[in-house]
A and B are shown apart, each in its own frame.
Chain A
Amino acid sequence: MVVKLYGQVTAVCPQRVLLCFLEKEIEFEIVHVDLDTLEQKKPEHLLRQPFGQVPAIEDGDFKLFESRAIARYYATKYLDQGTNLLGKSLEHRAIVDQWADVEAHYFNVLAFPIVLNLLIKPRLGEACDVVLVEELKVKLEVVLDIYENRLGSNRFLAGDEFTMADLTHMPAMGYLMRTDVNRMVKARVNMNRWWEEITARPAWKKLMKMAGF
């Protein structure tokens, strides 16, 4: 019996888990939850995820939600299989956690509303908050400068190897790169190098194909 992921293959948070599954060579099944019809807010899904979001997983009797918690669980459970996403020592694991937390608290808070306004709202026929997007871009420039500096002395965010710290950025970054924000990344030599290297990984290419890109 394989783990079931409830979500939509094009959505950012399910993609975080799917990318982890692909990097770790874990078999899975996607059970589609249709975000366009707000299936995630319906009672059946609320039993799996009380905040009405995707993803959630069911693995036999074991149930979990929050994409970063799910990814962490599987990266730990299958530590010796596929890519080691967690880090090799206690100290290295702490640095991986640090930059994964940076994604959550500095990057995602800006990236998500930009993607929501520039890509999702137009698809749903809603108006983009142009003023908000411009404010968020200004803040994002400051954050990306810090990443640029970090990636100037480190091949990946947590050091010499690709880890969860890099992976956790990829889904939202993938969508940002489909907007004019891609200029901000391309203008930064180290960020551009890092993005090109991590998107050349087979797991990412498989994910993009699954998502129809």
Chain B
Amino acid sequence: MAMKVYGDGMSACVARVLLCLHEKETEFELVPVDLFACHHKLPSFLSMNPFGQVPVLQDDDLTLFESRAITAYIAEKHKDKGTDLTRHADAKEAAIVKLWSEVESHHFNPAISAVIHQLIVVPLQGQTPDAAIVEENLEKLGKVLDVYEERLGKTKYLTGDSYTLADLHHVPYTYYFMKTSHAGLINDRPNVKAWWEDLCSRPAFLKVSPGLTVAPVTN
């Protein structure tokens, strides 16, 4: 039976899982969850993820939430096919993949997701973006990207010569970010820009990006 992913392709966290499934050439079924109607807050959904967020993965008896735990599971289960996303054959390389995945999780994601939340989600809720929050997080994001610029001057991808989960996890929010008027933070850093353009050339990206349909207000 194919894995089921509960969610909507426009959600960045769902897209993170879909990218992984495509990179691992794994069949799956996307079970729609109507986010605008808040179906992810209903008791039937909360029984799968008590935090009321998408995505949720079901694989036979296993129900899993947290997109990065899901990608790690898929990458491990299907480690012998598709793209080697975890460098599992070498413990030290695998640790470097985990290191830059943690960097995405703790340094990159809080800043970029705060900007996307203000510029895309808040207007969808009929509210006005908070310019101070946007500015504060753009500054934080810039500092993180300075570290990336230096790193990507030495390596093609974040962990070395190969594309891994550490790169993949960045893709959905960066895709949305590039739709905003702040894309210069990426484009003005040559190594980061080249890395981003490479990530966008991957077949898995071309399958998932059409689902990332929401757009920011011009700000």
Contact = CB atoms under 8 A, between A and B. Distances in A.
Interface of A: 50-51, 62, 64-66, 68-70, 72-73, 76-77, 90-91, 93-95, 97-98, 100-102, 104-106, 109, 146, 149-150
Interface in B130-178: 144, 147, 150-151
What DSSP secondary structure best describes chain A's contact surface? helix
A124 to B, nearest CB: 21
Q: Size band of the B side of the interface?
A: 20 to 34
24 contacts: A51-B107, A51-B147, A64-B96, A66-B99, A69-B98, A73-B91, A73-B92, A73-B98, A76-B95, A91-B62, A93-B76, A94-B64, A94-B70, A94-B76, A97-B69, A97-B73, A98-B64, A98-B65, A100-B69, A101-B69, A102-B66, A105-B66, A146-B51, A149-B50
A68 B147 contact: no
B106 A66 contact: yes
A110 B70 CA distance: 23
Contacts, number: 78
B119 to A, nearest CB: 20
B105 interface: yes
B200 interface: no
A69 B66 contact: no
Contact of B66 (A51, A76, A101): A101
A146 B51 CA distance: 8
Q: 7 closest Cβ contacts across the A-B interface?
A: A66-B102, A101-B66, A97-B69, A73-B95, A94-B73, A69-B98, A69-B99
B69 A72 contact: no
B4 to A, nearest CB: 15
Interface in B49-103: 50-51, 61-62, 64-66, 68-70, 72-73, 76-77, 91-92, 94-96, 98-99, 101-103
Contacts of B102: 66, 68-69
Nearest to B76: A90
A68 B101 CA distance: 10
A72 to B, nearest CB: 5
A72 B101 CA distance: 12
Contacts of B76: 90, 93-94
Contact of A98 (B69, B91, B106, B147): B69
A91 B77 CA distance: 9
Contacts of B147: 50-51
B149 to A, nearest CB: 11
A64 B95 contact: yes
Given A72-B95, A90-B77, A149-B50, 14 more contacts: A50-B147, A62-B92, A64-B96, A69-B102, A76-B95, A77-B91, A93-B76, A94-B62, A97-B69, A98-B64, A98-B66, A101-B66, A101-B68, A102-B51
Given A50-B150, A98-B64, A101-B68, A76 B91 contact: yes
Given A64-B99, A73-B98, A94 B69 contact: yes
Contacts of B103: 51, 66
Contacts of B151: 50
A101 B103 CA distance: 13
B50 A94 contact: no
B64 A150 contact: no
Nearest to A61: B92
Contacts of A98: 64-66, 69
A72 B98 contact: yes
